[in-house]
Structure 1
Amino acid sequence: MRYWTFALCHLWVRMLPLGHALAVAVVQIFIFSENRALAKNINFYNVRPPLDPTPFPNSFKCFTCENAGDNYNCNRWAEDKWCPQNTQYCLTVHHFTSHGRSTSITKKCASRSECHFVGCHHSRDSEHTECRSCCEGMICNVELPTNHTNAVFAVMHAQRTSGSSAHTLYLPALAWVFMLPLM
């Protein structure tokens, strides 16, 4: 009796991955056939993050700090709060020496008018350089501007489409999320 119990357990353990893979495949086929959706019909530009309570539509966050000594501490201790409704961008102002050592970093939410003067400007009097950059998007101001290449006004150009294909993606994506722990 002990031998048969061991043999059945061993067989079950060996068959488990095959059974699991088969179950995942059947569920995926059912979902895709139910919605008549194939990968070529999915609009990947229309994928949206999960809904989160936000203070207003299109709200966003930026790293925020005032006169921080370095980028690490600015980002680490940035207050996690939503930007005001009258702002659309994240502004970063970086002051540094001729040797590249940061002396002051300010990051904040900004309006379009505050983002007109991006780029780098060298002050001969103080031998410091100030680089300013603006970006659009959720917490997009992680890095520091250090030269004319990255001291820019970076704006996202989202591709807008009708929401008709949104249903096509949500159910398979939701099912996939629930299937991941089973893999």
Structure 2
Amino acid sequence: MEVLYVGSLRVDVEAHEQEDAAQTLLERFKCVPAFLPLDLHNRFYQGFCKANIWPLFHYMLPFSADNGGAASLPPNTTVFLKHRSASSPLGLDSALATYLTSPAAPVVDQAIRELCLLVKNGLLTTSQVLIELHDALEGCPLGFVPFFVKGIDFLVYYITTRLRQGKRGFLNLHS
């Protein structure tokens, strides 16, 4: 099985160098990078990943027999519906195209891998996991997709699963 890493870089890459850097990373390391400004990357990682995703697991575990073994989310969690495109040269469309044309399985941050497994195993619905990110990245330009950095693999998994099932809608809130 081929593995493809999708994520962000901890260094700034000049706009005119991004395409070459992306090609090199893909060829040498099987990595599709998201080019985000360092301040946005840091706010996303420190804000969303550490403040929202990791605490989410503390609410869910251990699984309870009271709800059929399924996990439940904190009551203030809402569904993410807003952004669907990225402004970086290797944005959402490029990552999806790369994923859909290869047998690669993307591997990213442990938290997102765990979310994918919970959905795959039926312990959470897709709707529960697509979390609204504007609280963690308030003031972000709309051109950026905040979830791209750590969540692209989950989104790709969700979209490809829905397409394989013949469901064309982007979100089915009752799934």
What's the TM-score, normalizing by structure 2? Answer: 0.25
Greater per-residue strand proportion? 1
Greater per-residue helix proportion? 2
What's the TM-score, normalizing by structure 1? Answer: 0.24
Instruction: Report 1 or 2 for greater relative contact order, CA contacts < 8 Å, sequence distance ≥ 6.
Output: 2
Q: Which has the larger radius of gyration?
A: 1
